Homo-oligomer: A and B are copies of this chain.
Amino acid sequence: MRIAAATAARVRDAAESLGYRPNAVALALRSNSTQTIAMISDLIATNEYSGQMVAGALETAHAQAKLLIVAETHGDPDIENAIVQDLLDRRVDGFIYATEVTRITKLPELLTGHHTVMLNCIDEDNQTPSVVPDERAAGVLALAALGTDTKDIAVVGTGHPNRYALQQRLAGIRAGLPKSTLLRNIDCDWWPESAFAAVDNLLRSSAPSTKRAHRVTSPRAFICMNDQVAFGTYQALHEHGLTPGRDVSVVSFDGSLLAGWLRPGLTSVSTPHRELGQVAVSMLTNNWETDLAAQHRHSQSAEPILISPALTTRTSVSVHTE
């Protein structure tokens, strides 16, 4: 039984102009592909940085007509397993396994064998492709931002958190350091209050009024491990009548909004969180379009992709001729 071509067309047009839309669920069942990516992270809402990663991932996923699902595990392995299982049940096409703090970690077992990219973390077993900020390059940039002010540098924030970033940055800083430099570690957490206390303490012990025998001179330059640490450092400097950009130099990592709010404006090496998110999604979707065999062949030597930092120069570095 034939149907007249005109009639068929009329039906089609009617359906279309009536606003027919295909059912994505049926489509997914049939094609075995949901056009969906899941991003699993320990913490997402805590600070503006992970927000940037999410935004970047969202953006790129959307550009590729994929839906991105964001999930938060609070760092709890049980929650993590439950979430991964649920997403697996929902037949997500691929995973982005992200951490708030850059670190080396192990991929959840459930995820092995599924398309996965690690974001802001590196696979312990080097089995999974990953994207991380180039913290060593960030260290190099931070030192460079100090210009000639490198006689006596304090690194603020050598406390416990974020081992990986800390070590990489220190390596970058040391790489370009003159032999004569005095490099001091100021141990504190990566929070304003902790940094304030530590720097205040340092300046107190080196204040001119102190009559102790073992008096120390105060550092000329401060490299702060993030903008919040720099914030605390500013407060301590202020307390001691020292102005960044005039009496001392301050440089920091993060490139957050806060850096621009401080007075004087804080020169900061910005970690490209947004770009991290974008690249992770790109890698993931590229991966599963690539020949899987070829991918597997190289899977033993997956070197992390490093994303370059950028420098935002403001006026917190003192330019004194000597």
List of B residues within 8 angstroms of A54 by Cβ: 44-45, 70
The yes or no answer to A113 lying at the interface (CB within 8 A) is no
A191 to B257, CA, bound (A): 10
Q: Contacting chain B: which of A7-15, A88-96, A291-299?
A: A88-96
- Complex: chain B residue closest to A191, CB-CB: B261
A24 to B46, CA, bound (A): 31
- Complex: chain B residue closest to A232, CB-CB: B261
The yes or no answer to A222 lying at the interface (CB within 8 A) is no
The yes or no answer to A228 lying at the interface (CB within 8 A) is yes
Give the distance to chain B from A114, nearest Cβ to Cβ, in Å.
13
Give the distance to chain B from A268, nearest Cβ to Cβ, in Å.
16
Main secondary structure of the interface of A (DSSP, over half): helix
The yes or no answer to A192 lying at the interface (CB within 8 A) is yes
Give the distance to chain B from A241, nearest Cβ to Cβ, in Å.
13
List of B residues within 8 angstroms of A88 by Cβ: 21
Kindly report how many copies of this chain are found in the complex they form together: 2
> Is the CB–CB distance between A23 and B91 below 8 Å?
yes
**Given A25-B34, A34-B25, A90-B24, A72-B55 contact (CB < 8 Å):** yes
Selected contact of A45 from candidates B21, B34, B55, B71, CB within 8 Å: B55
Binding site for B on A (CB under 8 A): 21-26, 28-29, 34, 44-48, 51-52, 54-55, 58, 62, 67, 69-72, 83, 85-86, 88-91, 191-193, 196, 228, 231-232, 235, 258, 261, 263
A115 to B9, CA, bound (A): 35
> Is the CB–CB distance between A52 and B48 below 8 Å?
no
Selected contact of A52 from candidates B45, B67, B89, CB within 8 Å: B45
- Complex: chain B residue closest to A74, CB-CB: B59
